[in-house]
Amino acid sequence: MAVTYRIVVVGLGSIGLRHARLLQEREDVALEVLEISPETATAAQQVLGAVKNHTSFEAMLATKPNIVWLATPTPLHASQSIQALEAGVHVFCEKPMTATREEARQLASVVDRTGLTFGVGFYLHFWRGMQLLKGLIDQGKLGNILHLHARVGTYITLVNSLSRYQAYNPGSLFFDYAHQMDLVYWLLKKRPTTVYTPGFQGGNLEFSAAPNVADIMLEYDAPLIAHIHLNYVQMPQRHCYEITGDEGWAVLDFEQSHLRIGNRQAQAVETVSFQQERDDIFRAEHTAFLEAVAGHRQPETSAADGLISTAICEAILQSWQRGQKQRISYE
């Protein structure tokens, strides 16, 4: 297959290196990278081999790649995305889209004006278990959804962090796990209206952050509550979801790769098992974005969708900082 896309992956931390490694497999991609840390770039060479490494974001854009694949720290997402779009380059941006709602609005405006393809990296949309769960909800198998619970406990995130940014960026827990803020909208197609977020830093651990334990309670203009528990403590990792409807319920376990489905009428529980390598989830995400660039589909998570999860993240952070319920603004 002839090479179609010249892609530059910017930032080679754990997620950036995964993207680069998997994109490099593709016959329709010519991979280049940009990593300003000499140590990180050298370590990445052991995985990627002799891949061209740019040393300046602006100089890289001047070479006119087809796509910039951003895996940089969240505070850089807005400015780098806008620079790339203004240079005529399609952008895939790792989650969260931006650090603030104002930045998200600015970025969405540039996406609309340039007409280029922009997508946000919420890879869990491509996890088979999550697709099965969404199918149950969309098909009405669970009835009217009354409660969503998500739980992620993952000390390994701090262990694997190269820069240790979580230690000096309060609220990193919320932005590292923006996946969950995205999923409450993607699964339910309803935007929460208010949030309350108690949280704290605790435990005798080598690596920590403020907070490293938090509970997020989201309310809606409907008989519905979503609850998200996040922590940087549990190891081995815990990652699961529970949906309660008036006709049934479902529990999805990421680690165990199974979905349990309860049916009210039948008074029965069904267990569906599935297998999917984590790399295959990202491969599916890559294929979907390249199909969007080619005009064969819409981006899985658009800038407009990314703005919603950013607004939720921003309100969660404000609620934790202020110790009070916070109204979520999407304007």
Determine the average pLDDT of the residues in 115-125: 98
Q: Strand pairing partners for 9?
A: 33, 69
User: Both tokens of residue 97?
Assistant: 């889209």
Coil, strand or helix: which one is 241? strand
- Answer yes or no: is pLDDT of 2 > 90: no
Q: What 8-state DSSP symbol labels residue 206?
A: S
In the chain, the domains with their CATH numbers are 5-124+281-297 (3.40.50.720), 126-276+310-327 (3.30.360.10)
Residue-wise pLDDT for 230-258, tens only, equals: 999 999 999 999 999 999 999 999 999 99
Closest CA to 153 of 173, 134, 170, 167: 173
- pTM of the shown model: 0.95
Kindly give, in sequence order, each residue whose CB lies less than 8 Å from that of residue 25, ignoring residues fewer than 6 positions away.
283
pLDDT at 58: 97
Q: How far is CA 82 from the centre of its chain?
A: 19
Q: Where are the beta strands (DSSP E) in 163-257?
A: 194-196, 199-200, 213-219, 225-231, 238-245, 248-253
pLDDT tens digits, one per residue of 177-216: 999 999 999 999 999 999 999 999 999 999 999 999 999 9
CB atoms within 10 A of CB 55: 11
235 three-state secondary structure: coil
Which pLDDT score is estimated for 287? Answer: 98
